[in-house]
């Protein structure tokens, strides 16, 4: 593939709900451009875009693919993104590096949930966009209905219909473009109406054309084309086009419209590029996808990673078409390319020159909120699992790994069940580590409610030296500190050299707890009396005496179970607020208040962590996928008495 000047590059992103036909549309565009000899099918697993094993098996996109199309001297870089909410991170990163989003809608399903979510993402970036209503050859498809849905769902947008679809369902024959010559007489009046609507919506994009329009003059086609191009670039209008990727109708008109109207990249002054995606390839190793903003990047040269303040050797640069690579000597401003085997660079990093450093705006990904405990099926695979998970986190910033030191579990978190299932499959297929997963254990704690004074005595005689340690300890609640040890021994009843042994015994035994095997916290221990034997006393004996004192004291001091509490912020459309608040109440949550944020309500509540482990799934079901949430640990509270006994019994059974 030849190198293109910046003015002849178009960077776009295919976005939309799962099943709207984005990948099939890209496949048809490749065929029309002569890049493939036949059109692949998603269900057959032979498309250029969906080449990962997990995509072929599931017949869905899970990773953004780069599909460059050459059209009449213009290179159109298409980023084909997944349509399922678990993979929204792929959409976010792709939108960061394009000049326009192409919202693909199914002519049957219309405006679906993920389309609304992605629309909001494009609004945040003020990204120009085009709507393509696809699958108009399908039974029950209806172009007019989808146009009406768009206008209802996004009332602030200026939608402009650029074509008239001809025929319906199986009789769909294609489109009539408002600028085409030889318009059939039966459509001329409708075309005139569309042109007038375009003039009204877009005239202000150009001052001269606006003056002419305000003077009541009719705009000619060249003027309408000019304001279309300018209004799209300014995100002033949203053009609507129609077609069917299955019948290859309206697809050629789409690529022509993109080439004519999507703005070319604006080169930056300083040499710079942004890494927007990382992919672990079994043959090439780590592949780094980057968009050049300024300057030219060449193969076999050094690049400075200003984000991490390290230099990296860029080997062979290449363009990708699905999984197929075409080597290139250099990458021009505005273009998108890939380099393999970088060591330090991660998604969101900036490349530049060391003498003129710049850091581009990075990419903000959603926080993973569905946790799973993961462990290898085979003992001895722990290190292998850790290495594999680290590589997968590099590949997908919407998953995270952490070690819970209290429950001794490795916690893998993601955005949804399908995403985590696929991570499990990749661990087995790519890295040879079979894993078992379960809902993470909650890191409960225990504490005492009242002060007690207890005796602990360890005495053992078995020929020769015996063992003797004897302590009196005061245990009392201590909200200010997790653990505190003091001594008030008078008269040497316990020698000072045994104080550390008593403290060590207590520190160790509180980790085992009393009620259900969870660490005991917020307790102050005071050693105030005891006795010793000049021959038989030892550090071990006093350590065991302290352990006995703790066990007696925990039984007498009204030990209770404490649970972690999180502060949750749940962001939902207003229509779902009642259901969400009701559900939080059933989860023993305390709703603190609501705030209006745009068209969303943000509900703040304090909820037991145990009730939030699978909340991602619950919220998705309640809000049709429109709700999001974050949680933040704020502290521990006593488990209510009405559920404490049954919970303690359940936790004991799990540990056995």
For each of the domains in the chain, give its residue range(s) and CATH number, in order of start. 6-261 (3.40.50.300), 272-352 (2.40.30.10), 370-438 (3.30.70.870), 446-558 (3.30.230.10), 561-655 (3.30.70.240)
pLDDT tens digit string along 341-398? Answer: 999 999 999 999 999 999 999 999 999 999 999 999 988 888 899 989 988 998 999 9
Residue 37 reports pLDDT greater than 80: yes
What pLDDT shows up at residue 647?
86
pLDDT tens digit string along 540-585? Answer: 999 999 999 999 999 999 999 999 999 999 999 999 999 999 999 9
Kindly indicate the confidence band of residue 153, based on its pLDDT and cuts at 50, 70 and 90: very high
End-to-end CA distance of the chain: 63
Residue 322 reports pLDDT greater than 80: yes
Angle formed at CA 366 by CA 364 and CA 372, multiple of 5 degrees: 140
Residue 651 reports pLDDT greater than 90: no
What pLDDT shows up at residue 464?
65
pLDDT tens digit string along 230-286? Answer: 999 999 999 999 999 999 999 999 999 999 999 999 999 999 999 999 998 767 788
The enclosing H or E element of 262 equals none
pLDDT tens digit string along 8-21? Answer: 999 999 999 999 99
pLDDT tens digit string along 431-477? Answer: 889 999 999 999 999 999 999 999 999 998 766 678 999 999 999 99
Question: Mutual orientation of helices 221-233 and 251-261 as an angle, nearest 10°?
Answer: 80
What pLDDT shows up at residue 407?
87
Closest CA to 475 of 459, 455, 500, 445: 455
Please give the mean pLDDT across all residues of the chain.
94
What pLDDT shows up at residue 2?
82
What pLDDT shows up at residue 405?
87
Closest CA to 111 of 655, 624, 637, 645: 624
What pLDDT shows up at residue 463?
63
Q: Residue 504, class by beta-carbon neighbours within 10 Å (0-12 exposed, 13-18 middle, 19+ buried)?
A: middle
Q: Residue 50, class by beta-carbon neighbours within 10 Å (0-12 exposed, 13-18 middle, 19+ buried)?
A: buried
Name 9's bridge partners.
Answer: 75
Residue partners of 322: CB distance under 8 A and separation at least 6: 47, 48, 49, 51, 65, 66, 67
Residue 296 reports pLDDT greater than 70: yes
Rounded average pLDDT over 503-528: 94
**Any idea how long the chain is?**
656
Distance in angstroms (rounded) separating the CA atoms of residues 585 and 297:
56
Closest CA to 13 of 87, 59, 76, 70: 76
Distance in angstroms (rounded) separating the CA atoms of residues 344 and 83:
30
Distance in angstroms (rounded) separating the CA atoms of residues 348 and 528:
59
| Beta strands at 560-573 and 445-447: parallel, antiparallel or unpaired | antiparallel
Three-class secondary structure of residue 185 per DSSP: helix
Report the phi/psi class of residue 198: left, alpha or beta, with left for phi > 0 and alpha for psi in -120 to 50.
Answer: alpha
Winning range, highest mean pLDDT, from 43-57, 227-241, 424-438, 628-642: 227-241
Question: Mutual orientation of helices 577-586 and 615-623 as an angle, nearest 10°?
Answer: 150
What pLDDT shows up at residue 656?
64
Rounded average pLDDT over 155-183: 96
User: Are 395 and 426 spatial neighbours (Cβ–Cβ below 8 Å)?
Assistant: no
């Amino acid at each position: 593939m030849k190198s293109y000047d910046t003015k002849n590059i178009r960077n776009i992103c295919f976005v939309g709900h799962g099943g709207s036909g984005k990948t099939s549309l890209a496949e048809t565009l490749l065929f029309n451009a002569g890049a493939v000899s036949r059109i692949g099918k998603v269900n057959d697993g032979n498309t250029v875009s969906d080449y990962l094993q997990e995509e072929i098996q599931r017949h869905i996109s899970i990773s953004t693919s780069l599909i460059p199309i050459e059209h009449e001297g213009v290179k159109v870089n298409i980023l084909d993104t997944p349509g399922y909410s678990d993979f929204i991170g792929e959409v976010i990163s792709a939108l960061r590096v394009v000049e326009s989003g192409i919202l693909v809608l199914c002519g049957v399903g219309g405006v679906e949930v993920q389309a609304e979510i992605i629309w909001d993402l494009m609004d945040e970036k003020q990204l120009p966009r085009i709507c393509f209503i696809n699958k108009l050859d399908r039974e029950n498809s209806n172009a007019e209905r989808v146009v009406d849905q768009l206008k209802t769902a996004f009332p602030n947008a200026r939608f402009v219909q650029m074509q008239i679809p001809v025929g319906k369902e199986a009789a769909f024959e294609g489109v009539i473009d408002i600028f085409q010559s030889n318009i059939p007489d039966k459509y001329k009046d409708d075309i005139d109406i569309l042109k007038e609507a375009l003039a009204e919506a877009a005239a202000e994009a150009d001052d001269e054309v606006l003056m002419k329009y305000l003077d009541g003059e009719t705009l000619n086609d060249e003027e309408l084309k000019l304001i279309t191009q300018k209004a799209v670039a300014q995100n002033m209008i949203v053009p609507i086009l129609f077609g069917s990727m299955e019948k290859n109708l309206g697809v050629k008109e789409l690529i022509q419209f993109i080439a004519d109207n999507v703005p070319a990249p604006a080169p930056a002054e300083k040499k710079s590029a942004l890494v927007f995606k990382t992919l672990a390839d079994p043959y090439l190793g780590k592949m780094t996808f980057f968009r050049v903003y300024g300057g030219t990047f060449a193969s076999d040269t050094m690049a400075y990673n200003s984000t991490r303040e390290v230099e990296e050797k860029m080997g062979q640069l290449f363009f990708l078409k699905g999984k197929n690579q075409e080597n290139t000597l250099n990458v021009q401003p505005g273009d998108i390319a890939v380099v393999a085997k970088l060591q330090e660079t991660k998604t969101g990093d900036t490349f530049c020159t060391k003498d003129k450093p710049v850091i581009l705006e990075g990419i903000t990904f959603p926080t993973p909120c569905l946790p799973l405990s993961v462990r290898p099926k085979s003992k001895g695979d722990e290190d292998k699992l850790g290495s594999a998970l680290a590589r997968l986190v590099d590949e997908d910033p919407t998953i995270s790994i952490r070690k819970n030191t209290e429950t001794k579990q490795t916690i893998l978190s993601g955005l949804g069940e399908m995403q985590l299932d696929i991570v499990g499959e990749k661990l087995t297929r790519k890295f040879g580590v079979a894993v078992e997963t379960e809902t993470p254990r909650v890191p409960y704690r225990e504490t005492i409610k009242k002060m007690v004074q207890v005796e602990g005595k360890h005495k053992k005689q078995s020929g020769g030296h015996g063992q003797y340690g004897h302590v009196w300890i005061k245990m009392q609640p201590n909200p200010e500190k997790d653990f505190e040890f003091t001594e008030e021994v008078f008269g040497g009843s316990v020698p000072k050299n045994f104080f550390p042994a008593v403290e060590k015994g207590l520190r160790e035994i509180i980790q085992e707890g009393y009620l259900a095997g969870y660490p005991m916290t917020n307790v102050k221990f005071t050693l105030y009396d005891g006795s010793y034997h000049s021959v038989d006393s030892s550090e071990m004996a006093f350590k065991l005496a302290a352990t006995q004192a703790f066990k007696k004291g925990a039984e007498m001091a009204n030990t209770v179970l404490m649970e972690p509490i999180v502060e949750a912020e749940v962001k939902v459309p207003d229509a779902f607020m009642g259901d969400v608040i009701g559900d939080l109440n059933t989860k023993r949550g305390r709703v603190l208040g609501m705030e209006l944020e745009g068209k969303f309500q943000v509900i703040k509540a304090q909820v037991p962590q145990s009730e939030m482990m699978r909340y991602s799934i619950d919220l998705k079901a309640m809000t049709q996928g429109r709700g999001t949430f974050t949680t933040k640990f704020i502290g521990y509270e006593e488990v209510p008495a009405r559920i404490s006994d049954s919970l303690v019994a359940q936790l004991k059974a799990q540990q056995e």
